[in-house]
Amino acid sequence: MAAGKGTRMGAAGEGLPKVMVPTLGRPMVDWVVEACREAGISRIILVVGHLASLLRAAYADQSDVECVLQEPQLGTGHAVDQARPVLERLDAATPVVVLGGDGPLIRAATIKALVKEHIAHGAAATMATSVIPDPTGYGRIVRDANGNFSAIVEHKDASEAQRTIREVNPSYYCFRNDDLLRELSRVDNKNANGEYYLVDVLTLLRAAGRPVQVVSAVPPEDVLSINTPEQLAEVESILGRREAAPSARSHA
């Protein structure tokens, strides 16, 4: 998903879509695309919106990358649904990985672990989660007594007990293609922001009795996305250390 404006990026993001902001010398989305390729994903769909022409031009000569337009931008579920014409041409059981384009710290090893877990359990959907020291502001992963996925509870909606949960949702997903397309068509925008949320697909799948898996596979360091110039500097520092030791980048 790469349609956002990045309005808090200051001078670094001036005249650019958020995911095209240079991050250690490359557009931040390039790090995500590279991780997907390293993980063996052969077809990459970029959902573009703000200044879409810049993203289209950047990937025009890359045959494994296709851009689809999200206009207007009505939430994460709406973003993924813009890829429906492409996804409908794929087999029903095809694993579809959904990621944010503004998380350049993602590792190929994490994507591989996500897809492996998804296939091994014949899941309708699988989330890769992270356990972090300070989960403030993140959606919490609630599990049942058997350790299975129960719900994602946003920080502002969480009870005091739920706020002690340190397992969070950094938005790394894998879906069975037909389950994703079916439930996306059922997601509504009856919420305070009037948007269509991808996490609602997980709720609908669980309500329908479809298997939803959770794998804690995201290193805490990788959860940081970029919304401010300060976060950009922090991410660039981490990427710089990884580039100095290349083997560290693709292995958790």
pLDDT digits (tens, 9 = 90+) for 8-17: 555 555 678 8
Does 94 fall in a domain?
yes
Range of the domain at 137: 10-223
Phi, psi (degrees; rounded to nearest 5) at 130 = -135, 145
Does 80 fall in a domain?
yes
Higher-pLDDT residue of 70 and 226 is 70
Mean pLDDT of 31-59: 93
Does 250 fall in a domain?
no
Q: 148-162, 203-217, 230-244: which range is least confident on average?
A: 148-162
Selection from 29, 27, 8, 33 nearest residue 97 by Cα: 33
Q: For the chain, what is the domain count?
A: 1
Does 221 score more than 50 pLDDT?
A: yes
Percent of the chain beyond pLDDT 70? Answer: 92
What rounded mean pLDDT belongs to the chain?
89
Chain segment 173-190, per-residue pLDDT in tens = 999 999 999 999 999 998
Selection from 137, 121, 107 nearest residue 39 by Cα: 107
Q: What is the CB neighbour count within 10 angstroms for residue 129?
A: 25
Selection from 105, 108, 113, 159 nearest residue 132 by Cα: 105
Dihedral sign, Cα of residue 163, residue 204, residue 185, residue 52: positive
Residue 131's alpha-carbon distances to 39, 86, 125, 134, 147, in angstroms, are: 22, 34, 20, 9, 15
Chain segment 75-129, per-residue pLDDT in tens = 999 999 999 999 999 999 999 999 999 999 999 999 999 999 999 999 999 999 9
Question: How many residues comprise the chain?
Answer: 252
pLDDT of 147 reads 87
Q: Can you tell me which residue has the tokens 């994490």?
A: 110
Stretch (H or E) spanning 29:
helix 28-38
pLDDT of 252 reads 45
Measured torsion, CA atoms of residues 211, 127, 39, 88, in degrees rounded to the nearest 10: 60
Does 133 fall in a domain?
yes
In this prediction the pTM is 0.88
Selection from 70, 75, 73, 1 nearest residue 33 by Cα: 1
Chain segment 229-250, per-residue pLDDT in tens = 899 999 999 999 998 885 554 4
Does 5 fall in a domain?
no
CA distance 143 to 131: 13
Does 204 fall in a domain?
yes
Does 16 fall in a domain?
yes
Give the active site residues: 8
Structure tokens at 37: 């390729």
pLDDT of 228 reads 87
Does 37 fall in a domain?
yes
Residues 6, 55 contacting (CB under 8 angstroms): no
For the domain that residue 61 is a member of, what is the CATH number? Answer: 3.90.550.10
Q: What is the CB neighbour count within 10 angstroms for residue 72?
A: 7
Mean pLDDT of 201-229: 91
Structure tokens at 142: 């609630």
